[in-house]
A = this chain, B = another copy of it.
């Protein structure tokens, strides 16, 4: 199965279309099995005590799943999240970036379902699990 956008194309698309998140995310892998996205953790992502916040992890999962879908269907900027469920399971490692490994579970005409597993760089056990449903707008 060919993919529509590789890591380079996804990184270019993010830089171009999503100014607000410029520099925060790096697509490290985009292949038939899914994508890997790195969150470059900085002060704004932290809670008191230096741990990455839940919302920062949710945002990483959202970008990862969006990239996983676009990697398969091309640069559809208007795909939107309709539902998400997230479990926070372990405290992230202080001072480490977070990585989201994402795979698509269903890619329909109208809805796509994907799941991201988030872990600290250098640590295998998942910090968080997030599944999302995206609505895909009709082709023009």
Contacts and interface: CB of A to CB of B under 8 A. Distances in A.
A73 interface: no
Contacts of A129: 105, 113, 115, 131
A2 interface: no
Task: Count the copies.
Answer: 4
A44 B62 CA distance: 16
Interface residues of A, number: 40
A47 B18 contact: yes
A3 to B, nearest CB: 18
Contact of A110 (B59, B106, B110): B110
A77 interface: yes
Interface of A: 17-20, 43-48, 53-55, 58-59, 62, 77, 80-90, 105-106, 110-111, 113, 115, 125-126, 129, 131, 133, 135
